[in-house]
């Protein structure tokens, strides 16, 4: 009984480990490609940046400069705080209502 549970637990652990790796690989590829120029992202998407393809933080600087990053971030932060406060109010208000 204990042995079959152990095998089942190990199988679930292995499956979840494989799934987590599969979910993380695209994020890692995007992060690695963010340090390359556009030409090399298209032609060599799975290769690590070399001295020829490496552009440093230039892509991040261009992305922040070309978008209103500070405005978008502050608006997102505002709505997150507003919604979080509203959801907390509704949740705790519902708890008080249910208890009375």
Instruction: Please give the pLDDT value at position 100.
Output: 52
Nearest-CA neighbor of 49 among 25, 64, 74, 29? 29
Split at pLDDT 50, 70, 90, the class of 26 is very high
* DSSP secondary structure code for residue 54 in this structure: B
pLDDT at 21: 96
Which pLDDT tens digit goes with each residue over 55-88? 988 988 888 888 888 888 888 888 777 776 666 6
Average pLDDT over every residue of 47-51:
89
Helix (H) or strand (E) holding 43: helix 38-43
């Amino acid at each position: 009984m204990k042995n079959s549970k152990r095998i089942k637990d190990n199988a679930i652990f292995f499956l979840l480990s494989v799934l987590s790796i599969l979910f993380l690989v695209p994020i890692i590829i995007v992060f690695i490609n963010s340090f390359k120029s556009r030409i090399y992202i298209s032609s060599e998407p799975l290769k690590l940046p070399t001295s020829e393809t490496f552009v440093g933080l230039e892509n991040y600087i261009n992305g922040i400069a070309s978008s209103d990053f500070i405005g978008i971030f502050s608006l997102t932060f505002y709505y997150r705080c507003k919604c979080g406060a509203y959801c907390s109010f509704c949740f705790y208000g519902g708890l008080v209502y249910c208890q009375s």
